[in-house]
Homo-oligomer: A and B are copies of this chain.
């Protein structure tokens, strides 16, 4: 190898030897004269350990050493915690109790706003129509049971993750999978927006002065969620476990107390503020309105996917624990949802048209009064809703990482950050949810129509996938499985159609537009990656491991030390590197040529006069002219750049070389080499 090296520039001493494996050979003399030996030392052991022929970076390599980057790293560690190594991953698993808190919060928390949204639609048809709330709620719970049973089978069949995307791709092909994925991605974004908005509504119900700030509060909550999730999954579990159980216990307690007072006749009559009074028959109670009320209530079912998605996060045996958790979550949700619907209709509570107070807060206030219990219940409600949003913070990045792995999304969605979280996915989700909340001014009623459709499309595809799977495999119990999943698929398909059509003008048209658009994007990305892979495979077969000798040019403005450094580097690369000076001033060119003859060494200088003062156009054309003489040879443009001590001083330098680099980036067969010149302390 060493016979192959280029000759050293004139007068340069033999360069010191560098060992890329960081094992420095130390030549020592022994005790006796003439007795010498070679010792291998490893001065970099603190940062790189040697292990089986490779180097292993220690945590120390993660830290910046200088001012700014060290400060940023300190801030990041404070916000999201110290890095977690990949080997620590396995311990990040969830017990059933924790998993219920995390994954079922989406489901259970729907009880806080589901009944209200049913009421709100029915109230268009006057006070009498509100009596339909309970039957609609019961119908929804019935459907939920079917879906739950159906998903218990999916979870068992896909213990590594039962996301609709995976199930649909696996059984129905890529396009079905992408349809499910697009629907779910949109669904997750809306989940965050809806849940956070509903959580804020729970808070503004206690303190109406907050109502004007509901968008700001919502955005702040999304920011906190994003930070929490960048810290990693297990810690989120610990942070948020308490509120879920607090919500369940408090709500069950309050419901029991209310039922007791109702039965004993000690609960006074509920009186709505007179300005909320419903005009009877302002809208006819047709089938359409009932369907819309049903659609609004069907948000309750959207939480089912969360547990199925999260199967691999459970402790072993994953699928069994996930199933049990799903069943419990469904039961708890059913009791709360029906209980609240029953109490609200029995008492005759009407929703606040301004959305300042939630129906649930009106109910609790009527039962337990204005005291600390109301505040506690509302805070618990807000927290469980925020936790429900958190579900999407687990699901969206995970689904994105699946999509990135399969080439449907940019690769950075598949990279895990230092804390094992999918950084890009978390940031993308937060940004889109914030946009949505701002667009809809934080109104839950406004957001709900966007919510349900996507999720039900995904459900239907997933259940249909299971149908196909049973049919193909004919495993033990396939007939029963077919029946259950068939019922599930039929139910969710009907709901999807109902939701899509009855809410069309309220917002589901957006989903109907967005899902295909997102699908086109995902498929387009994959076809790009695939075309690239094909090209790389074809190119790999051709033996292109030799690159012709490059043509090397150095654009220079002056013959100052930065330029001379770039020229010296250029000489290392090629013995006939050329300096190029583009100018609109023939006199300064003559002066430069004189300097060049003194200092420029044996290289050639070409002066290109540009009467139009443009630099980049003539340079590019000059490069074309060079390459036209030898089309295969790549051209190396060596640029000198001044690196100032402070980043903001860059505004005073390198503007031209930045513009040049942007133009050269897309140019074929062009290599750009940046030779920095550091300004030191003044």
Interface residues of A, Cβ cutoff 8 Å to B: 1-2, 4-12, 15-22, 24, 43-44, 47-48, 51, 53-57, 59-64, 83-87, 410-412, 415-418, 525, 527-529, 531-532, 535-536, 539-540, 544-551, 553, 560-562, 564-565, 567-569, 572-576, 578, 580, 582, 584, 586, 589, 599, 601-602, 604, 606-614, 617-618, 620-622, 625-626, 628-630, 633-634, 636, 641-644, 647, 649, 651-652, 655-656, 665-676, 678-680, 682
Residue in contact with A47 in the complex, picked from B545, B584, B604, B621, CB distance below 8 Å? B621
Residue in contact with A568 in the complex, picked from B54, B83, B546, B629, CB distance below 8 Å? B546
Contact A626 B568 (CB under 8 A): no
List B contacts of A63 (CB < 8 A): 617
Contact A57 B612 (CB under 8 A): yes
Residue in contact with A54 in the complex, picked from B47, B64, B607, B630, CB distance below 8 Å? B607
Residue of B nearest to A654 (CB): B665
Residue in contact with A539 in the complex, picked from B15, B561, B589, B656, CB distance below 8 Å? B561
- Main secondary structure on A side of the interface with B: mixed
List B contacts of A599 (CB < 8 A): 545
List B contacts of A10 (CB < 8 A): 546
Residue in contact with A612 in the complex, picked from B2, B59, B412, B553, CB distance below 8 Å? B59
List B contacts of A674 (CB < 8 A): 665, 671-673
Contact B678 A668 (CB under 8 A): yes
Q: What's the Cα separation between A639 and B614 when bound, in Å?
A: 29
Q: What's the Cα separation between A604 and B580 when bound, in Å?
A: 35
Q: A545-B599, A565-B544 are in contact. Are A550 and B572 (CB under 8 A)?
A: yes
Contact A528 B644 (CB under 8 A): yes
Contact B540 A83 (CB under 8 A): no
Residue in contact with A625 in the complex, picked from B11, B22, B613, B649, CB distance below 8 Å? B22
Q: A6-B575, A540-B561, A674-B672 are in contact. Are A55 and B545 (CB under 8 A)?
A: no
8 A-B pairs in the complex with CB atoms less than 8 angstroms apart: A18-B633, A55-B608, A62-B614, A83-B614, A416-B613, A547-B568, A643-B666, A670-B676
Report the minimal beta-carbon distance from A105 to chain B, rounded to whole angstroms. 28
Q: What's the Cα separation between A24 and B625 when bound, in Å?
A: 11
Contact B655 A61 (CB under 8 A): no
Contact B535 A604 (CB under 8 A): no
Most buried by B among A22, A608, A617, A674: A617
Q: What's the Cα separation between A674 and B638 when bound, in Å?
A: 11
Q: What's the Cα separation between A636 and B675 when bound, in Å?
A: 9
Contact B618 A57 (CB under 8 A): yes
Contact A57 B672 (CB under 8 A): no
Q: What's the Cα separation between A544 and B568 when bound, in Å?
A: 9
List B contacts of A611 (CB < 8 A): 56-57, 85-87
Contact B628 A417 (CB under 8 A): no
List B contacts of A675 (CB < 8 A): 671
Q: What's the Cα separation between A529 and B644 when bound, in Å?
A: 10
Q: What's the Cα separation between A504 and B149 when bound, in Å?
A: 76
List B contacts of A59 (CB < 8 A): 612
Q: How many chain copies?
A: 2
Q: What's the Cα separation between A569 and B454 when bound, in Å?
A: 50
Q: What's the Cα separation between A470 and B4 when bound, in Å?
A: 73
Residue in contact with A5 in the complex, picked from B24, B44, B575, B614, CB distance below 8 Å? B575
Report the minimal beta-carbon distance from A82 to chain B, rounded to whole angstroms. 9
Contact B57 A610 (CB under 8 A): yes
Q: A569-B547, A676-B665 are in contact. Are A16 and B633 (CB under 8 A)?
A: yes
Q: A54-B586, A86-B613 are in contact. Are A621 and B61 (CB under 8 A)?
A: yes
Q: What's the Cα separation between A56 and B87 when bound, in Å?
A: 63
Report the minimal beta-carbon distance from A656 to chain B, rounded to whole angstroms. 8
Report the minimal beta-carbon distance from A49 to chain B, rounded to whole angstroms. 9
Residue of B nearest to A576 (CB): B1
Report the minimal beta-carbon distance from A251 to chain B, rounded to whole angstroms. 41
Q: A610-B57, A614-B62 are in contact. Are A5 and B574 (CB under 8 A)?
A: yes
Contact A668 B676 (CB under 8 A): yes
Residue of B nearest to A652 (CB): B410
Q: A85-B611, A676-B670 are in contact. Are A547 and B572 (CB under 8 A)?
A: yes
Report the minimal beta-carbon distance from A481 to chain B, rounded to whole angstroms. 36
Report the minimal beta-carbon distance from A541 to chain B, rounded to whole angstroms. 10
Report the minimal beta-carbon distance from A633 to chain B, rounded to whole angstroms. 6
Residue of B nearest to A416 (CB): B613
Contact B532 A679 (CB under 8 A): yes
Contact B575 A655 (CB under 8 A): no
Contact B47 A1 (CB under 8 A): no
Residue in contact with A649 in the complex, picked from B56, B57, B528, B633, CB distance below 8 Å? B528
Contact B569 A671 (CB under 8 A): yes
Q: What's the Cα separation between A608 and B679 when bound, in Å?
A: 32
Contact B11 A546 (CB under 8 A): yes
Contact B608 A57 (CB under 8 A): yes
Report the minimal beta-carbon distance from A23 to chain B, rounded to whole angstroms. 10
Report the minimal beta-carbon distance from A161 to chain B, rounded to whole angstroms. 20
Report the minimal beta-carbon distance from A260 to chain B, rounded to whole angstroms. 55
Residue in contact with A609 in the complex, picked from B4, B55, B609, B649, CB distance below 8 Å? B55
List B contacts of A8 (CB < 8 A): 549
Residue of B nearest to A558 (CB): B536
The 7 closest A-B pairs by CB, nearest first: A57-B618, A54-B607, A6-B6, A85-B611, A531-B682, A16-B630, A547-B568
